Amino acid sequence: MKKLNMRKVVSNAFFLPKGKMTRAIITSSSAINRKGESRIKVVRSSTSLHIFLEEALIGIILGDGHLSKSSSTSNTRLELSMASTDIILAYYIYSLFIYYYNTKPKKLETKSKNNNKLYGSIRLKTLSLSVFNK
């Protein structure tokens, strides 16, 4: 199987609509704004998602994703599980919501009880944030 350069896939193959929020999403997390706050803090502390990310979130929920809470008083998080063959899709979704994740997509292997086959999957979990509470 051919190895993929995921940095190249994420940075070159996909796009976001132009706008103020897009620059905040795409810009490096180490960038500092005029007030001295990192962009990652600004994006994570916002109370709403950009319209493009909101529409993407709806599509993800209609597909492989779901929203969950760890308790009734906690914030909501986005969770995804998909087959390991969908690695490009997983990294695309990761690139859209990159500031809402603490970790990269995790590759898991599950052993079947019936025939001892190994099945690969990819799991993504965002941080629990108020932007997903809508």
- The answer for residues whose C-beta is within 8 angstroms of residue 43's C-beta and 6 or more apart is 24, 25, 99, 100
Does residue 112 lie in a domain region?
yes
- Domain tally for the chain? 1
As a whole number of Å, the end-to-end CA separation of the chain is 41
Of 39-43, 78-82, 122-126, where does mean pLDDT reach its minimum?
A: 39-43
Of 29-33, 49-53, 63-67, 78-82, where does mean pLDDT reach its minimum?
A: 29-33
Q: Which CATH number is 27's domain given?
A: 3.10.28.10
What pTM did the predictor assign? 0.67
Question: Containing H/E element for 24?
Answer: helix 20-26
Q: Which residue has the tokens 């706008």?
A: 19
Does residue 1 lie in a domain region?
no
Average pLDDT, the chain: 76
Range of the domain at 49: 6-132
